[in-house]
Structure 1
């Protein structure tokens, strides 16, 4: 009992509480353990996990990318996959199972249902961010309701950006990481090119 207490003490005092390197394991087992750690971290997270965070649970010489490739290879026949999105990795169900998930529980239907106007405003913010309500009014030719913006904010698709240089310094809107995840984008650079229809007068 005393040895157990003595062993635990350095961890409590900020000692080496977590063994990243796993030097006592043979190479193959060490690799499997690192794969398991990355998988566990990704399963526990509801949002994409970046490379730096994943690197904290594996040895310094370990390649996060190679570990992820091995995990992806093992998920071949599973209904979910490990994908890179919004600058990190996360587990997603495969597209062919979307209908089954909907039929079982209507999961996420509420959060992903958009009116045409909501989708239009979301696109305008995505392409013109940071943009304020006056800027949105210029695009749509009418004022965008605060309720609509509140709904997009509630779905965590937009958030407040920097203050606008307009008089009164109104708040601007920008998209969030949830926006990237929802639309399977790595970054805003992955937004489709805007096709500008018509001619400017």
Structure 2
């Protein structure tokens, strides 16, 4: 007669929260609910566990943040000004690289020719190479147009660095105005694109080994 394996009962909520806390703390990248469900005992109420962790950390110097489609511990936003002096200054991007990054983020999937058309100037290969090197921009696919130009898009590392859960969380026109990033009178019909990292209708994914930029 075969024995039926006994299912282990779910951990008490406090213990499940401790385990989830440890998993998130040790993870090199944000963990999604599915990632946590795969590592926690079967039957664990993952959203409830995340809620318990978030509440526990809410008044502390480190909080649980949702970034890049997952969860990670981040410094409490209100403490950022006090910490800037003790953190080594990150490498600054040039104006051209910043403009290129903004265009990629809002217009993805976008080709180099389209970036140049939007900026109105030639985009140096160095700007795109730098953004690829930072890990904020990736090669997405190829346009179904003559020449099959490479398309560019942002990465989970970009979302993580800027504290975004998805590219759709990028600020819209009203938010950009509120931040003082857009000033003065805008041309009639001016709009900020609604960013999305969905596959383009005229875009094919890169094939195996097809990693060379145009």
Same fold (TM over 0.5): yes
Query: Which consecutive unaligned segments of at least 5 residues does structure 1 have?
Result: 1-15
Secondary structure at 2:110 match in 1: coil
How far apart, CA to CA, are the structure 1 residues paired with 2:94 and 2:72?
28
Mean Cα deviation higher: 150-159 or 178-187:
178-187
Instruction: Report the counterpart of residue 90 of structure 2 in structure 1.
Output: 110
TM-score scaled by length of structure 1: 0.77
Mean Cα deviation higher: 153-162 or 165-174:
165-174
Choose which of 62, 66, 69 in structure 2 pairs with 1:87: 69
Post-superposition offset of 1:160 = 0.1
- Which protein is bigger by CA-based radius of gyration? 1
Instruction: Report the counterpart of residue 134 of structure 2 in structure 1.
Output: 155
Secondary structure at 2:90 match in 1: helix
User: Any residues of structure 2 matched to 1:3-82 within 5 Å, and which?
Assistant: 22-23=8-9, 30-82=12-64
Post-superposition offset of 1:194 = 4.4
Greater percentage in helix: 1
Post-superposition offset of 1:188 = 1.8
Matched, 1:133 2:115: no
Which structure ranks higher in relative contact order (CA pairs < 8 Å, sequence separation ≥ 6)?
Answer: 2
How far apart, CA to CA, are the structure 2 residues paired with 1:117 and 1:174?
17
TM-score scaled by length of structure 2: 0.73
Q: Which stretches of structure 1, 4 residues or more, deviate above 3 A after TM superposition?
A: 194-197
Query: Which consecutive unaligned segments of at least 5 residues does structure 2 have?
Result: 175-181, 190-214
Secondary structure at 1:48 match in 2: coil
How far apart, CA to CA, are the structure 1 residues paired with 2:188 and 2:14?
59
How many matched pairs? Answer: 175
Instruction: Report the counterpart of residue 147 of structure 2 in structure 1.
Output: 168
Post-superposition offset of 1:72 = 1.4
How far apart, CA to CA, are the structure 1 residues paired with 2:72 and 2:156?
13
Aligned-residue RMSD, C-alpha: 2.4
Post-superposition offset of 1:60 = 2.6
Post-superposition offset of 1:22 = 4.9
Does the CA contact (< 8 Å) of 1:37 and 1:57 recur in 2? no
How far apart, CA to CA, are the structure 2 residues paired with 1:124 and 1:74?
38
